[in-house]
Amino acid sequence: MTTYVVGTTSVHTSATLCDYLATRVGQGDTVVAVNSLRGGDDTTSRDTRDGEDALNAVTSRLGERCTVETHQYVRGNDPHEDLLAAVDEFDADELVIGIRKRNPTAKVVFGSTAQSILLNADVPMAVIPLVSVE
C-alpha cells in the first residue's frame, strides 16, 4: 500500500501526472491530489474552478485503479507549503509534481514552487515534464 501526493493546477497537469501514475498504482494504493490556491485577491473564481476541474480529472482517471482523495487548499500558503504539509499529513511515500519544460537558457532554474519542493521534500519524488514553454 503506497500513498502518493500529487500537486496539480490544471486538467492538463492532472492528465500528465495520471499517465505516470497509471502504471504504478493499484488496489490498496492511495493518491492524494492537492490543488493549492493563495486565496484573497490572489485567487479568482476561475482559479478555483480550474483547480476543481484538475482534481476531478485525477478522480476520473485513477478512481477505478486506487483510492483517490482530493483537497483544494485556500489557506494563504504558497503551494509548496501546502504540498509538503500534505506529504506529512497523509504520510506519503512519494510526491509527484509536474514541471514545465523550458528553453535551454531557462533550464538553469526551476520555477520557484518546484525548486522549493525539491529542496525541502523528505520523501522520494517524481518530477514529470509538462508542455514546452518557448
What's the total number of domains in the chain?
Answer: 1
pLDDT band at 134 (very low <50, low <70, confident <90, very high): very low
Q: What pTM did the predictor assign? A: 0.89
Q: What integer pLDDT is reported at residue 87 of this predicted model?
A: 98
Averaged pLDDT for residues 52-66? 97
Give CA–CA dist 22/119, Å, rounded: 26
pLDDT band at 58 (very low <50, low <70, confident <90, very high): very high
Beta bridge partners of 68: 31
Q: What is the pLDDT of residues 7-43, one digit of tens each?
A: 999 999 999 999 999 999 999 999 999 999 988 888 8
Q: What is the pLDDT of residues 76-107, one digit of tens each?
A: 999 999 999 999 999 999 999 998 766 655 55
Q: What integer pLDDT is reported at residue 101 of this predicted model?
A: 67
Q: What integer pLDDT is reported at residue 111 of this predicted model?
A: 63
Q: What integer pLDDT is reported at residue 104 of this predicted model?
A: 57
Averaged pLDDT for residues 48-65? 97
Which CATH number belongs to the domain containing residue 40 in this structure?
A: 3.40.50.620
Range of 106's domain?
A: 3-132
Q: Exposed/middle/buried for 130, CB within 10 Å: 0-12, 13-18, 19+? A: middle
DSSP readout, the chain? --EEEEE-SSHHHHHHHHHHHHTT--TT-EEEEEEEE--GGG--HHHHHHHHHHHHHHHHHHTTTSEEEEEEEESS--HHHHHHHHHHHTT-SEEEEEEEE--TTGGGS--HHHHHHHHH--S-EEEEEEEE--
Q: What integer pLDDT is reported at residue 103 of this predicted model?
A: 60
